[in-house]
Amino acid sequence: MILKSQVEWALHCCAILAGLPDGRYLSTKALAEFHGLPKEYLSKALQGLSHAGLVDTSLGPSGGYRLAKPPADINFLEIVEAVEGRQRTFICSNIRANNPCRPKDYCESSPCAVARIMWEADEAWREKLRGVRLSDLVGILSQEIPPQLWKSSFEWVLERAG
């Protein structure tokens, strides 16, 4: 059980978009080049973000993506679910129903105990992601990345932002 690499890409791309001035767009091409990723495939991750309403798109030259909401209003879970899907990581196929001793008219009332426990863990994971905002990530990055690199990266992006 491993998250798609698209999740990593989407998070990094959102971090870049968060630093974009209001009204500017950044294209898939620029994002792909900046991260050294296949442009065509990265676009699928960005499509997921677009579909989830996290980013706005613009067509034509100087078009691309920008955040649809302020970075403080976007959390990690939204981004992860936009790419990875919203279904739980544990699927209960209710194998207890195959118990040969089970009476035929017997019908389970509550979900399987095993599933409930697994779902609780799943929810703990989601809750943790829900608690981290995109703005938090930007804050961390701005402290960790050397000012020189931060500045030049910002300029690199602005040169290509439409």
Partner DNA sequence: GGGGGCATACTCGGATATCTAGTGTCCGAGTGCTATAGG
Partner DNA sequence: CCTATAGCACTCGGACACTAGATATCCGAGTATGCCCCC
| Contact set with DNA (CB under 7 A) | 1-2, 4-6, 27-30, 38, 40-41, 43-44, 46-47, 50-51, 57-65, 162
52 is a contact residue toward a copy of itself (CB under 8 A): no
The least CB distance from residue 78 to DNA, in Å, is 17
Residue 132 beta carbon to DNA: minimum distance, rounded to whole angstroms = 22
Q: What's the min distance (Å) between Cβ of 59 and a copy of itself?
A: 26
Binder of residue 8, out of DNA, a copy of itself, none (CB less than 5 to 8 A by kind)? a copy of itself
3-state secondary structure of 90: coil
The DSSP result for the chain, as a single string, is ----HHHHHHHHHHHHHHTSPTT--B-HHHHHHHHT--HHHHHHHHHHHHHTTSEEEE-STT-EEEESS-GGG-BHHHHHHHHH-SS-S-----GGGG-TTS-TT----SPPHHHHHHHHHHHHHHHHHHT-BHHHHHHHHHHHS-HHHHHHHHHHHHHH--
Instruction: Compute how many residues bind a copy of itself; rule: CB under 8 A.
Output: 60
**Binding site residues, a copy of itself, CB under 8 A:** 1-5, 7-9, 11-12, 15, 33-37, 76, 84, 87, 89-93, 95-103, 106, 110, 113-115, 117-118, 120-122, 124-129, 132, 137, 140-141, 144, 146, 148-149, 152-153, 156
